[in-house]
């Protein structure tokens, strides 16, 4: 996999900061989410930046996939979006819902909890997820409301929460838009050391 570089081609530093970001934690989540989506798109779709990939569609215009497979795809530059018929089906969210917990903590948590949320995402740490979810039990549902994730639902234990592939893509696309707004409002300068 190619190495990921920070904004303007600089190696990412341990701390991300931009004048427009309200907290370092929010910027970290956006950078992690953007990096995950970027890295995944590099390995899955080798196309030009302006041409949306043309997936195999069934006669109904939906992604052609086995019946139980749920897939959602949005090509960010063009907005082209397609999915399987069951892309809105709520399924166990497992580690994906950690992104929703982290997003909430980065907006509402203490500095210590924001640092824990960063580690939770970096390491996919279940123990930290349990600790943060017990401290912020509405985090998944609040994030779902904030981003219009209609098929995402928190459960008493975070690991039993559900989400859909469409909700996950909707969330990640929103985080990418937020990141682009921050990038466009901030001049490009070398990272702080």
- pLDDT (tens digit, 9 = 90+) per residue, 50-85? 666 777 888 888 888 888 999 999 998 888 899 999
Ramachandran category for residue 44: left, alpha or beta (phi over 0 → left; psi -120 to 50 → alpha): alpha
Burial call 151-171: b when 16+ CB within 10 Å, e when fewer = bbbbeeebeebbbbbbbbbbb
Residue 60 CA to residue 181 CA, distance in Å, equals 36
Give 185's pLDDT tier (boundaries 50, 70, 90): low
pTM: 0.69
What's the gap between Cα 116 and its chain centre?
17
């Amino acid at each position: 996999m190619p190495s990921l570089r920070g904004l303007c081609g600089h190696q990412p530093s341990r701390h991300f900061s931009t004048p427009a970001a309200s907290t370092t934690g929010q910027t970290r989540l956006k950078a992690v989410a953007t990096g995950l989506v970027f890295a995944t798109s590099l390995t899955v779709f080798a196309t030009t930046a302006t041409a949306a990939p043309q997936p195999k569609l069934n006669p109904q215009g939906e992604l052609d996939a086995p019946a139980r497979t749920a897939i959602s795809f949005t090509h960010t530059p063009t907005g082209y979006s397609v999915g399987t018929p069951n892309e809105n089906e709520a399924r166990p969210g497992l580690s994906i819902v950690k992104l929703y917990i982290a997003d909430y903590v980065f907006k509402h948590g203490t500095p210590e909890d924001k640092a824990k949320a960063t580690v939770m995402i970096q390491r996919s740490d279940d123990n930290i997820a349990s600790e943060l979810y017990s401290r912020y039990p509405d985090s998944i549902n609040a994030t779902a409301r904030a981003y219009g994730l209609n098929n995402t639902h928190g459960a008493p234990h975070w690991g039993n929460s559900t989400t859909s592939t469409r909700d996950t893509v909707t969330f990640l696309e929103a985080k990418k838009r937020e990141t682009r707004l921050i990038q466009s409002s901030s001049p490009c300068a070398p990272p702080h050391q």
